[in-house]
């Protein structure tokens, strides 16, 4: 018997374990999936929690229901990966699993302790995150009673998962505070290390215009050096001080500590990965997918969906001693909530920045790229059903993996 | 594509002003590129960072180092790095060192 070992049962690990199990010969292969707990988080839903739009039941489910009987599902902390010895050490019973092929899908998490003062006395008092369920739920309690003031949303450093989430958070805040009748008492500020609202020029201009229209100030090229929780100000490395009453932070995102312990990552514990084949650049029988990689693509669930085909085809080719043909093109599709029951959409790849137009079909869409519409908002909300009922159940989502220029205007 | 002339030598740069071929880089080019980024003078510490960035890229398939790679590798604090190359140090260092635009942010 041969073993395919999958580490991490989040978005990527759960999907790839099932896809590979359905392709590999059951008489020759055993598929093992390991995660530290059975809680599965629908992270895109965290955005809606602080505003009371989603509850715990919408965003946390027991992962067991998504794992078919043919896969050995082990609940344990993963202690160490020893890729040179083709084995992994678990905490539970000190078990050592030998593998023939390994897929690492251990994601990434926030690290507020990386920024001086961030996790100090203001943490969870008037400083919050919404990248964890606990953070989002605590922020909801705070916002339920908030009467207004200066809210600063700060991205500490890039890359972060779902790079548009901070913008969406601001757009939703603008909408919810308007509904609550306190928008005139709230100042909204976006402090970002980027030179504008987004990385790529066309999307940056379109999203920048939206920020201006909604009266959200932007503090660009802002690299936070420290938080002063006594005086409620953040300070950048170039000594710009931004005062806040409420700080919503997107702290440094880092790959799992396991990657560091195992000596497999870069400075932020992301694993060096071939951006086209998704194979580890160092170990031939190791693949990396999802937020754990260092590839220059968006860290997003939609991107993971587009990566699956490449991982499956290339691993199978490699297992059978054939040439690998499948190339991931960096395809990402992100719905961006803009408030007032509207959303916009961006669709892009390694080589092509987001452009205006229609998606996925030219002219008919139904979704509009870089333009606001209600149907985009419905698409965003539908993503939750798509996620739990199709992606996690291993049912094909009818969106092509390959990026396409059809419907886009240069 | 455009060309940039420095002391009679033409360098090919892309639309965003990054050198197309890192092997065509020279110290004279760096001095000129630094001026365009608002750095009138390159000190010894600036050069330490630039040299490190070029070495790092050479071992990383041409990829420009991230901010963290620079602070870890060139033994310099983030604060000092921002003082040397204000605003976006990773991008500025890449531009001056004749490397590609850092891929870090998507
Ligand atoms: C606020 C927010 C909004 C978002 N919005 C969107 C959106 O609108 N659209 C979109 O497409 N994406 C969005 N995303 C991103 C998306 O949720 C992630 O990209 C995706 O979930 C990553 O999947 P993954 O499998 O790589 O990692 P994860 O789903 O995080 O899974 C990693 C797993 O590895 C396990 N693990 C790690 N280390 C160990 C260890 N040592 N031992 C045992 N287990 C371990 C963890 O327990 C976890 O279950 C958003 C994310 C956030 C935070």
- In a domain, residue B18? The reply is yes
3-state secondary structure of A363: coil
Q: B6 and B28 in contact (C-beta within 8 Å)?
A: yes
Give the gap in angstroms from C-alpha A19 to the nearest C-alpha of chain B.
Answer: 27
Across A214-234, b (16+ Cβ under 10 Å) vs e yields: bebebbebbbbbbbebeebeb
Half-sphere exposure of A62 (CA within 13 A, CB side): 2
The SS3 assignment for B23 reads: helix
What's the structural domain count of chain B? 1
Tokens of A15: 């999907």
Q: Which helix (H) or strand (E) holds A314?
A: helix A301-319
CB within 8 Å: A238 and B86: yes
Catalytic one among B7, B8, B79, B105?
B105
DSSP code for A223? -
Tell me, what's the pLDDT at B105? 52
Buried b (16+ CB within 10 A) or exposed e, A25-57: eeeebbbbbbbbeeebbbbbbbbbbbbeebeee
Angle (CA) A346 A352 A290, round 5°? 65
DSSP annotation string for A1-29: -EEEEEE--SHHHHHHHHHHHHHS-TTTE
- Mean pLDDT to the nearest integer, A223-251: 96
pLDDT digits (tens, 9 = 90+) for A135-171: 999 999 999 999 999 999 999 999 999 999 999 999 9
State if residue A159 touches ligand 1 by the CB under 6 angstroms criterion: no
**pLDDT bucket at B54, cuts 50 / 70 / 90:** very high
Give the best residue of A162, A166, A193, A351 to mutate against chain B (max B CB count within 10 A): A193
For residue B103, list chain A residues with Cβ-Cβ distance below 8 A.
296
Residue A6 Cβ contacting ligand 1 at under 6 Å:
no
Asked if residue B83 belongs to a domain, the reply is yes
Instruction: Assess: ipTM above 0.85.
Output: no
CA distances from A166 to A67, A207, A236, A352 (A): 32, 12, 18, 23
Nearest alpha-carbon partner for A255 in A304, A282, A283, A289 = A289
Residue B10 lies in a domain: yes
Domain hosting B66: range is 2-96
| 8-state DSSP, A319 | H
B103 falls within a domain: no
**What pLDDT shows up at residue B103?**
72
Name the residue at shortest CA distance from atom 23 of ligand 1: A11
Write the CB contacts of A378 (distance below 8 Å, at least 6 apart in sequence). none
Residue B105 maps to a domain: no
H or E, element range at A143: helix A133-145
B105 is catalytic: yes
- pLDDT confidence band for A397 (50 / 70 / 90): confident
Task: Verify whether ligand 1 is closer than 6 Å to residue A290 (CB atom).
Answer: yes
Residues A24/A53, Cβ–Cβ less than 8 Å = no
Q: Identify the band that residue A392 occupies on the pLDDT scale cut at 50, 70 and 90.
A: very high
| Ligand 1 and A33: CB distance under 6 A | no
pLDDT exceeds 70 at position A404 = yes
Q: Residues A190, A166: contact at Cβ < 8 Å?
A: yes
Q: Is residue B66 part of a domain?
A: yes
| pLDDT 10s digits, A317-360 | 999 999 999 999 999 999 999 999 999 999 999 999 999 999 99
Contacts for A206-209: CB closer than 8 Å, 24+ residues apart? A206/A344, A206/A356, A206/A370, A207/A164, A207/A167, A207/A336, A207/A344
pLDDT of residue B104: 58
Report the alpha-carbon distance of residue B10 to residue A321 in Å, rounded. 48
Percent of chain A exceeding pLDDT 90 equals 94
Instruction: Give pTM, 2 decimals.
Output: 0.94
Over residues B12-39, the mean pLDDT reads: 94
User: Which secondary-structure segment (H or E) carries A228?
Assistant: strand A224-228
| Structural domain includes residue B65 | yes
Residue A292 CA, ligand 1 centroid: distance in Å = 9
Q: Decide if B66 and A267 are in contact by the 8 Å CB cutoff.
A: yes
Q: How many CA atoms lie within 13 A of A230 on its CB side?
A: 1
| Record: contact B105-A199, CB cut-off 8 A | yes
Which pLDDT band holds residue A22 (cuts at 50, 70, 90)?
A: very high
Percent pLDDT > 90 in chain B is 69
Using the beta-carbon criterion (under 8 Å), do A298 and B106 form an inter-chain contact? yes
Nearest to A221 among B69, B78, B87 (CB): B87
Task: Check if B5 contacts A (Cβ < 8 Å).
Answer: no
Q: For chain A, which domains are there?
A: 2-107+256-319 (3.50.50.60), 111-252 (3.50.50.60), 332-393 (no CATH)
Distance from CA of A93 to the nearest CA of B (A): 37
- Is the residue at B106 inside a domain? no
C-beta neighbour count of A189 within 10 angstroms: 19
| Nearest chain A alpha carbon to B103 | A296
Contact A40, A63 (CB under 8 A): yes
Find chain B residues with C-beta within 8 A of A298's C-beta. 106
């Amino acid at each position: 018997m041969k073993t395919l070992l999958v580490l991490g049962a989040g978005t990527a690990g759960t999907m790839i374990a099932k896809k590979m199990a359905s392709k590999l010969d059951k008489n020759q292969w055993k598929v093992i999936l390991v995660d530290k707990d059975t809680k599965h988080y629908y992270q895109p839903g965290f955005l809606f929690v602080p505003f009371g739009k989603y509850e715990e039941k919408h965003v946390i489910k027991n992962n067991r229901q998504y794992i078919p009987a043919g896969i050995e599902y082990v609940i344990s902390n993963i202690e160490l990966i020893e890729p040179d010895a083709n084995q992994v050490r678990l905490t539970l019973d000190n078990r050592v699993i030998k593998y023939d092929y390994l897929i690492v899908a251990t994601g990434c998490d926030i690290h507020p302790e990386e920024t001086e003062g961030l996790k100090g006395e203001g943490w969870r008092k008037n400083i919050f995150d919404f990248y964890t369920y606990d953070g989002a739920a605590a922020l909801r309690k705070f916002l339920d009673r908030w009467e207004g003031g200066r809210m600063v949303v700060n991205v500490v450093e890039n890359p972060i998962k779902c790079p548009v989430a901070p913008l969406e958070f601001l757009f939703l805040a603008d909408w919810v505070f308007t509904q609550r009748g306190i928008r005139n008492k709230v100042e909204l500020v976006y402090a970002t290390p980027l030179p504008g609202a987004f990385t790529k020029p066309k999307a940056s201009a379109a999203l920048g215009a939206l920020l201006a229209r909604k009266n959200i100030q932007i503090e660009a090229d802002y690299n936070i050096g420290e938080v002063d929780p006594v005086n409620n100000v953040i300070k950048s490395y170039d000594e710009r001080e931004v005062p806040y009453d409420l700080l919503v932070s997107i702290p440094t995102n880092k790959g799992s500590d396991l990657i560091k312990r195992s000596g497999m990552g870069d400075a932020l514990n992301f694993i060096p990965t071939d951006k086209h084949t998704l194979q580890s650049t160092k170990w031939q029988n190791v693949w990396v997918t999802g937020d754990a990689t260092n590839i220059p693509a968006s860290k997003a669930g939609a991107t993971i969906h587009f990566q699956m085909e490449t991982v499956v085809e290339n691993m199978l080719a490699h297992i059978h001693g054939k040439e690998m043909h499948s190339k991931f093109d960096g395809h990402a599709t992100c719905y961006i909530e803009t408030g007032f029951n509207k959303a916009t959409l961006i669709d892009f790849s390694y080589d092509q920045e987001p452009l205006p137009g229609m998606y996925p079909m030219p002219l008919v869409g139904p979704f509009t790229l870089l333009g606001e519409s209600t149907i985009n908002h419905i698409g965003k909300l539908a993503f939750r059903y798509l996620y739990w009922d199709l992606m996690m159940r291993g049912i094909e989502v009818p969106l092509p993996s390959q990026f396409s220029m059809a419907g886009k205007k240069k | 594509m455009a060309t940039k002339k420095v002391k009679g030598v033409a360098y090919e740069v892309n639309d965003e002003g990054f050198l197309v071929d890192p092997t065509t880089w020279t110290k004279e080019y760096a001095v000129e590129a630094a001026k365009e980024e608002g750095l009138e003078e390159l000190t010894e510490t600036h050069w330490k960072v630039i040299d490190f960035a070029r070495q790092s890229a050479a071992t990383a398939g041409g990829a420009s180092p991230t901010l963290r790679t620079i602070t870890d590798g060139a033994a310099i604090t983030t604060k000092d790095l921002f003082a040397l190359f204000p605003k976006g140090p990773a991008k500025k260092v890449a531009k001056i060192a004749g490397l590609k635009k850092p891929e870090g942010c998507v």
